[in-house]
Structure 1
């Protein structure tokens, strides 16, 4: 049984270096330590908390505490090694998490760059209209929203038959067939529609035009050349990238 006196050798400069303290003993970074005093009056650290502590810091602390331990009450080396293993595991996990974050950021940036090819194109998503037809949109922009890739687009409501006058100017008419002049005012005439945007033609293939009394206009200069153009919604829709089912 040990009956002699124990005197620990305490090197303040080395201890400050390990603890990341300056020459006056003040910490140089945020470190929270809990200490205790052994039977011989020697102070030792029971716990250390700091998000920036590394495995090397822990090893240095362990070596210093082993030097200062009371031989009659040696520290539990297995507990120290278990703590070191836990710290090493946490460091590995943090490094892996940081690497994964960088990988995800790179992947998102690459995906965003590739997705910009959709701008100006038409897409369909999982939604359908009252007739069960997939809704179509014209893509305006691509962006990430809350970590999710989305497109900003205007819905294509329907396709409108293009009708022109004698001068080759496009005839402006709405979903009800009302015709508008260049100032955006109703002319009083209507173009007969089968469906929104789909005109009715006579036996000569000319658009059917009605006057303000809903009487058919026999003589007019409007012509239909078989072309169509999309009519867009005034609202901008946000569509998750994963919901896109078709690009055209």
Structure 2
């Protein structure tokens, strides 16, 4: 059985990927439409149905881009609201579980008490910044208190 020459990797045609600069926007679409109207045959002008169809596509493209911008603004506003809603945690002491693997490859969980000095939002999730610089996920927190508790051993 012989392998066809066009199946070899070296004979494979290059595939070009689209970049963000190669996407057509509403301005490009409008330029194409104007160029098409300028260069049409005067003896056979564009059918009204085709023109209306292209204008509807242009309007749809513009509305989609406007909606995308509005959604981006909304997501940014939600992130700011999430951050503002957690500001009351600054200055609170939290007890949280820190898990790690020790030198013996054993899974260890330590309970740590830290002072919350800041709030961060990363990938839409709140993280507390401690006085030691560590970022703590709210799911790790066991308790929250306004004052440092006495630690008894």
TM-score, length of structure 1 as denominator length: 0.35
Match of 1:210 in 2: none
Match of 1:119 in 2: 90
Task: Find the structure with the greater CA-based Rg.
Answer: 1
**Bigger fraction of residues in helix:** 2
Query: 8 Å contact 1:120–1:139 — kept in the other structure?
Result: yes
Match of 2:139 in 1: 243
Match of 1:53 in 2: 27
TM-score, length of structure 2 as denominator length: 0.52
**In the alignment, is residue 143 of structure 1 matched against residue 120 of structure 2?**
yes
Cα distance between partner residues in 2 of 1:61 and 1:148: 46
SS of the aligned residue for 2:52 comes to helix
Q: 1:52 to 1:238 in 2, by over 3 A?
A: same
Match of 1:212 in 2: none
How big is the alpha-carbon RMSD for the aligned residues of Structure 1 and Structure 2?
3.9
Match of 2:129 in 1: 152
Deviation at 1:76, TM superposition (A): 4.3
Q: 1:145 to 1:85 in 2, by over 3 A?
A: same
Match of 1:106 in 2: 77
Question: 5+ unaligned residues in a row in structure 2: which ranges?
Answer: 1-22, 101-106, 145-153
Cα distance between partner residues in 1 of 2:72 and 2:108: 44
> What is the CA deviation profile of residues 130-155 of structure 1, one whole-angstrom value per residue up to 9, with x for unaligned ones?
6656544321111334665322114x
Query: 8 Å contact 1:140–1:153 — kept in the other structure?
Result: yes
Match of 2:45 in 1: 74
SS of the aligned residue for 1:236 comes to coil
Q: 1:126 to 1:52 in 2, by over 3 A?
A: farther
Deviation at 1:112, TM superposition (A): 1.3
Cα distance between partner residues in 2 of 1:126 and 1:81: 63
Question: 5+ unaligned residues in a row in structure 1: which ranges?
Answer: 1-48, 155-234
Query: 8 Å contact 2:97–2:109 — kept in the other structure?
Result: no
